[in-house]
Structures are given as C-alpha cells and as structure tokens.
C-alpha cells in the first residue's frame, strides 16, 4: 500500500513508522520508465522506497517552463503503486519553503557554473538546495539519481561528501527508447519532426563511443560525434558537446571518460550523455 503524504509532519510520522533501510527517489513528477527504473533499483537495495514529487521553483529561470511543466500527480501515484513504493511525499511549495524562497542556498562551486550551469544561471543552486532539504526531511539511507542528469548526479555526490551527509548516492544508468532517445519528461513537448531531430543527440554520443572503442583519441572522438550531430540534427541549436573525465574534470588522455551534449530542438532543451573509454595513447 502506497501512502501519500503532503506535509512535513505527515512525512515524519510515515518515515518513523518504517523500520529498516529507506531508499529515496527524488522527482519532479511526470513519471516515466526512467523513474520506474530508479524505483526498481531502490526496491532492490533498500527495505522501503520513498518517492518525492515536487516541482522545485528554485531551479527554473525567468524564461523557463515552470508554469507549463507537466504536473500529473494521479498518474504518478498509479506508477508508484504499481512499483511498490511505500511513501510518496508530494508537498506544496509553501510546505517546502514555508518562509518563501530561502535566503541561504547551497553554492555548487565552480562546476555548478559550467555546462548546464552556464546555460541556466543559478540552476544548480536551486537543485542542490532542494536536494539537501529533502535529504534532511526524508532521512534516507540511500538516494537514487539517474545518470541522464549526469552533472546533477556529480554535484549531489560532491555535496554529500563535502557536507558529510550520512547517505549513499546511487547512480542509475540512463533509460532509453528503443531508438536510443533518452527518456525525459520534456520529450512530450516534441513534435514528430522534432523527435526525429532529437535522435541526433544520442546518435552523436554513440558515434563518439564507437570511435573511442575503435582506438580514436579524444580529438577524433569529438570530431566523430560532431560530424554525426551536424548530419543527423542540422536543425538542433547546439549548446555544448564536450568530453570530460568521469567527474566532469578536464578530459583524460586515456581511460574512462564522459561525453555530454545539450541542444535545443524546437522550443525544447534536451540533454544526454554517455560513458566511453579512451584507448591508452601509444
């Protein structure tokens, strides 16, 4: 039986009633198969699963889609019930921020101003502030985040380590459609033609990963990815296509690496990323 709670007091009572480990999956609702995979992984690793559903106003800029962001609580609850979620915490903004927007926020450091942070100023200040707040409210043993939002996952891990938070952060691989498109709540905004263009993002990442597997160096990997993106998604407005190390630091000469892409397709901004392995230079 899934218990819906919407106040901090009700959350505290529901959380206190659960013995054993608790895994938390933080979402903004509009749940899809990617969220279901996070929940499934949480059920495997924790005795109880708690899902938060909260569209966080702090992480939306003035020109972004806060008011239009899909809110589908009843459908989300059906997914949670079917997945065996124990508690759903779906608070109002006033419940999360009773004094209005907080004057004190988490500073994500230099990485928070790069990539997504450069395109969306203040975004990760809002993300990390609500994640820290929800960790304090839900008191999880484990928290689960998708690798699709890889910069978010990296910064949450860093915040947990830097603040000595007593929680383990678990990254869950990106869930994709059969044609390779990374699942996102914003995919519903795409027209059929735009969706075809959006496939260029994952195709570019796959081209880079294939080039790396074939022994290409970092520069050649980026050339391969950019060539495919230009051919497959000429109408996409590219924000960035970069190659970094797994912690989003400067790209390595060899070994594990991460390729990340962001682009606007029509009016929808999409992100994706993929792990790859650079051959030892020689």
Tell me if 84 sits within 8 A of 49, measured CB to CB. yes
DSSP per residue, 114-143: STHHHHSTTHHHHHHHHHHHHHHHH--SEE
Which DSSP string do the residues of the chain spell out, in sequence order?
Answer: -PEEE-SHHHHHHHHHT--S-EEEEEE-S---HHHHHHHHHHHHH-SEEEEEE---GGG--TTS-TTTS---HHHHHHHHHHHT-SEEE---HHHHSTTSS-SS-----GGGGSTHHHHSTTHHHHHHHHHHHHHHHH--SEEEEEGGGHHHHHHHHHHHHHTT-S-EEEEEPPPB-TTSPBP-GGGGG--HHHHHHHHHHHHHHHHHHHHHHTT--HHHHHHHHHHHHHHH-TTSEEEEEEEE-TTSSBPPSSEEEEEEEEEEETTEEEEEEEEEEEPPP-
* Residue 35 annotated to the active site: yes
Please identify which of the residues 32, 35, 48, 277 carries the catalytic annotation.
Answer: 35
CA–CA distance from 144 to each of 26, 34, 248 (Å)?
A: 7, 12, 19
Active site residues: 35
């Amino acid at each position: 039986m899934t218990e819906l709670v919407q106040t901090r007091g009700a959350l505290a009572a529901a959380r206190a009633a659960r013995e054993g480990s608790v895994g938390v999956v933080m979402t903004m609702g509009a749940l899809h198969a990617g969220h279901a995979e996070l929940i499934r992984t949480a059920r495997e690793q924790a005795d109880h699963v708690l899902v938060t559903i909260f569209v966080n106003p702090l992480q939306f800029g003035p020109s972004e889609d806060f008011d239009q962001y899909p809110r589908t609580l009843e459908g989300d609850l059906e997914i949670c019930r079917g997945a065996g979620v124990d508690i759903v915490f779906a608070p109002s903004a006033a419940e999360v921020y009773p004094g209005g927007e907080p004057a004190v926020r988490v500073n994500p450091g230099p990485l928070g101003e790069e990539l997504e942070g450069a395109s969306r100023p203040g975004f990760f200040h809002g993300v990390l502030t609500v994640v820290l707040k929800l960790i304090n409210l839900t008191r999880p043993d484990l928290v689960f985040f998708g690798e699709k939002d890889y910069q978010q996952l990296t910064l949450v891990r860093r915040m947990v380590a830097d603040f000595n938070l007593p929680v383990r952060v678990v990254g869950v691989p990106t869930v994709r459609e059969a044609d390779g498109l990374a699942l996102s709540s914003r995919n519903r905004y795409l027209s059929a033609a735009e969706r075809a263009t959006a496939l260029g993002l994952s195709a570019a990442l796959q081209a880079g990963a294939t080039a790396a597997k074939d022994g290409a160096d970092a520069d050649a990997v980026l050339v391969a990815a950019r060539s495919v993106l230009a051919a497959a998604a000429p109408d996409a407005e590219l924000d960035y296509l970069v190659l970094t190390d797994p912690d989003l630091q400067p790209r390595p000469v060899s070994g594990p690496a991460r390729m990340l892409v962001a682009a606007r397709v029509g009016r929808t901004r999409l992100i994706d990323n993929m792990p790859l392995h650079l051959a030892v230079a020689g």
